[in-house]
Amino acid sequence: MECVLIFHEPMSEFAKRTDPDQREAYWGAWSAYIGAMAEAGVMTHGNGLQAPQTATSVRVRGGDRDVQDGPYADSKEQLGGYVAVQVTSLEDALEWAARSPAAASGTVEVRQVLPANKAELEAA
């Protein structure tokens, strides 16, 4: 099954990315984690995302467009990245989620991917 791990981190974690005293440990932990997933052959694809302040949010309601600077929700934890994994069970995905640096400071949401073809989708 394919699952996506969605990493939510508090702003204090994003701050580490550019803090000279903390960034080596921060990036080191993430790079080791992604590397381990890749070497275990579970990762299909993924991306880290630039900081939440750089986001732009778009809504189209009726005919009206609304473009906002900033992320979708004004929450304490923000989206930092995502990884798609190919695993045999949800539990394997949860184990990988627990290993991420985001699990220790934020939350990792794990969701199964929708099937790609229509027949499977309707059967689900």
> Is the alpha carbon torsion for 48, 33, 38, 1 positive or negative?
negative
**Which helix H or strand E contains 80, and what residues bound it?**
strand 77-86
Stretch that binds other proteins, among 3-11, 26-34, 58-66, 76-84 (CB under 8 A): 26-34
Q: Which is nearer to other proteins, 98 or 121 (CB)?
A: 98
Which one, of 97, 117, 105, lies nearest residue 78 by Cα? 105
52 binds other proteins (CB under 8 A): no
Using CB under 8 A as the binding rule, whether residue 7 contacts other proteins is answered as: no
Segment 64 to 83, residues that bind other proteins, using CB under 8 A = none
Task: Retrieve residue 7's tokens.
Answer: 């990493």
Determine if residue 41 is left, alpha or beta; phi over 0 gives left, psi from -120 to 50 gives alpha, anything else beta: left
Q: Which is nearer to other proteins, 17 or 71 (CB)?
A: 17
Cβ of residue 27: shortest distance to other proteins, in angstroms? 11
Q: Is 29 in the site for other proteins (CB under 8 A)?
A: yes
- Asked if residue 39 binds other proteins (CB under 8 A), the reply is yes
